[in-house]
Structure 1
Amino acid sequence: MKKTTMMFVASAVLMIMMTACGYGPPSASTSSSNSSSNNTIVVGSKSFTESILVGNMMYDLLKANLKGVTIENKSNLGGTMVPWNAIQSGQLDLYCEYTGTGLVDILKQPVSHDPNATYQTVKTQYPQKFNIDWLNPIGFNDTYAIAVPQSVANQYHLKTISDLKAVASKLTFGAEPEYFSRPDGYAGLIGAYGLQFGSKKELNVGLKYEAVASNQVQVIDVFSTDGQLTKYNMTVLNDDKNFFPPYYAAPIVRESTLKAHPEVATILNKLTGKLDNSSMQQLNYQVDVQHKSADTVAKQFLISAGLLSA
């Protein structure tokens, strides 16, 4: 998911620091270099739990299955542009990206609500423009979503966002101020689904779940794989009109890396179909709420999925 708003300042600082360390934007002297040239593959990740988890999984899979090659893990690098600049310059070989981020933030194209069209666009244009390939989608879609407490879902028999229409007038919708000001946020949501909530409440992004727990609000905007959804026993309503853009996760890899080590694609594509929104949410929960290490959680998942030996 495009989780850049809260990380913007931190990412800017990181980009300055990492430019000094060789992770800056590509230049004429660095754009043709690649870590694979010295038989090393460098895996990266962004600076939020989910990206770090998937980065660790890719690192573990490559280390276990790619013999004679040194695998390095450069996790927690920063927001989208930090690993993106690093993979372009050859300082990274691969990391996990999201289709919606690739389409809008990197290719600068309009938002699409068609998951397959979004994937096909990034899969086609990345090799043409950047010599970087998209591998198979892993399975989970970390997009925006609408959630209610399970008790509310049970009370009103809510399974889809459309189901809210009949009862919205009885409920209060809560979200961060930005969500109410974005055209693809609250206004777009109620327009697409014909919703009329009884009231709405602006909330600090860190207090949304507490507001639900105290019944100040009954409906909130969330990220679909957020571990807090498990902690607060929330039900994510199905976006039955495909209002929210798709943000399916997939590994992206430099073509030069795949040319040197073609088995990388086969190894990483083993993740395909192994992680849906629910299972990714549970892994995020283990790290963010139960405070387990991302490295341990990633390894345990791979073992349980039959992708790594204990």
Structure 2
Amino acid sequence: MRSHSLRKTVPLRRTAAALAAAALALTAVSGCGSAEAVETASAGDELAGAKFVVGSKDFTENIVLGKIAVQVLKAHGAEIVDKTNLGGTVPNRKALESKAIDMYWDYSGTGWIEHLRNAEPIQDSAEQFKATAAADLAKNGIHWIGPTPLNNTYALAIRSEKAQELGVKTLSDVAELAKTKPEEVTLCIETEFSTRDDGLPGLSKAYGMDIPKNRVSLLDTGVVYTETDKGQTCNFGEVFTTDGRIASLGLTVLEDDKKFFPVYNAAVTLREDTYKKYPALEKVLQPVIDKLDDATMQQLNAKVDVEGQEPGKVSADWLDQQGFLGSKA
């Protein structure tokens, strides 16, 4: 889950090792780059004496999820090194494998397509998660705790009035428009989406959608939403379906009528040796995971991206409301 001038921001994906090293040299920061002070709480001592380094990807939802893990594990007695907002998928996975971090949240579709290099997704969400978790454990020694009900899949969106003007409701409509009125099919996407098999290359192949490079703008995540809403840089933008900005900006999400995009249920990923040493992690995390559905995540994301709240505060407030933090210390 972006100006015909082809203005580009600094690419999101850099060398994995460099990103991980740079991030791990920083003190714990929020998704907005400022330190966050969140009250500690106690909900149990199942993880007393344990110490974990928690990472996250660099977009709002994953940062919020990372903060949720940080706060829940602290509430159950663990000592936490907060390395959320570490970078994209590659830096986090590399950091996990190299033991630079102990866990981060990933998505079943990402695991299946990116980490396990499968070409075709499994459409049933339960089967997709089961297959991803089993294969990643067997091949790579990575354990998945989850999944969440939320499905943060990719989608293309367009401002609603433009969708009505062009008569587009599905991705097949966009592919047809690219043939009949190619000048209307301008696209804003993130750098990572431009290279992933479950991103633009695969989407273009699945729908026979030919979009010249001069009609594709690579932008940071937040800019994709604002530029799609403005309709000057692009008519269509890559979005995440659990993003709160879709509703706040009045964007229309186009139906993936060929069901190209995989299911992306979130889960906490960690090395199997960590899981075996601390099996209480599943007991502590799973009740929280079960509560994270699409509507909840859209609300949490909107509090950060629309209202401007800090991810750590948003996650702590929600956990407290749900009774997951116990008594304040």
1:297–1:129 CA distance, 2 compared to 1 (3 A): same
1:278–1:131 CA distance, 2 compared to 1 (3 A): same
Q: Offset at 1:187? A: 8.0
**1:13 aligns to 2:18 (yes or no):** yes
**Aligned mate of 2:105, from 86, 92, 96:** 96
For 1:45-124, what aligned pairs fall within 5 Å after superposition? 45-64=56-75, 66=76, 68-107=77-116, 109-115=117-123, 116=125, 117-124=127-134
CA distance in 1, matches of 2:63, 2:54: 10
CA distance in 2, matches of 1:81, 1:71: 22
CA distance in 2, matches of 1:192, 1:280: 29
1:92–1:183 CA distance, 2 compared to 1 (3 A): closer
In the other structure, the counterpart of 2:250 is 233
1:12–1:213 CA distance, 2 compared to 1 (3 A): same
Kept in 2, the 8 Å contact 1:146–1:221? The answer is yes
Query: More deviation in 92-101 or 201-210?
Result: 201-210
> What per-residue deviation string (whole Å, max 9, x for no partner) do you get for residues 215-251 of structure 1?
5565433232334323312132342431113332111
Letter of the 1:114 partner, please give it.
Answer: I
In the other structure, the counterpart of 1:29 is none
In the other structure, the counterpart of 2:219 is 205
Query: Mind listing any 5+ residue stretches in structure 2 that lack a counterpart?
Result: 2-9, 27-46
Letter of the 2:188 partner, please give it.
Answer: E
Q: Offset at 1:204? A: 5.0
1:234–1:85 CA distance, 2 compared to 1 (3 A): same
CA distance in 2, matches of 1:88, 1:73: 17
CA distance in 1, matches of 2:50, 2:196: 46
CA distance in 1, matches of 2:188, 2:231: 16
Query: More deviation in 173-182 or 145-154?
Result: 173-182
Letter of the 2:19 partner, please give it.
Answer: L
Which one scores higher on RCO, CA 8 angstroms, separation ≥ 6? Answer: 2
Kept in 1, the 8 Å contact 2:17–2:94? The answer is no
> What per-residue deviation string (whole Å, max 9, x for no partner) do you get for residues 15-49 of structure 1?
3446889xxxxxxxxxxxxxx99632332212222
TM-score by length of 2: 0.69
CA distance in 2, matches of 1:165, 1:20: 45
Figure out how many residues of one structure are paired with residues of the other and give that number: 288
> What is the root-mean-square deviation in Å for CA atoms of aligned residues?
4.0
CA distance in 2, matches of 1:166, 1:13: 41
CA distance in 1, matches of 2:205, 2:93: 35
**Aligned mate of 1:142, from 152, 164, 174:** 152
Q: Offset at 1:118? A: 3.7
CA distance in 2, matches of 1:20, 1:203: 32
Letter of the 2:292 partner, please give it.
Answer: L
Kept in 2, the 8 Å contact 1:111–1:245? The answer is no
**Aligned mate of 1:269, from 258, 282, 286:** 286
Q: Offset at 1:77? A: 1.9
For 1:148-159, what aligned pairs fall within 5 Å after superposition? 148-151=158-161
Query: More deviation in 91-100 or 300-309?
Result: 300-309
TM-score by length of 1: 0.72
- Classify the secondary structure of the residue corresponding to 2:297: helix
CA distance in 2, matches of 1:158, 1:300: 39
- Classify the secondary structure of the residue corresponding to 2:143: strand
- Classify the secondary structure of the residue corresponding to 2:101: coil
Kept in 2, the 8 Å contact 1:173–1:220? The answer is no
Kept in 1, the 8 Å contact 2:152–2:264? The answer is yes
Kept in 1, the 8 Å contact 2:109–2:121? The answer is no
Q: Offset at 1:139? A: 2.3
Q: Offset at 1:214? A: 4.2
- Classify the secondary structure of the residue corresponding to 1:43: strand
Query: More deviation in 225-234 or 161-170?
Result: 161-170
Kept in 1, the 8 Å contact 2:148–2:291? The answer is yes
CA distance in 2, matches of 1:80, 1:205: 17
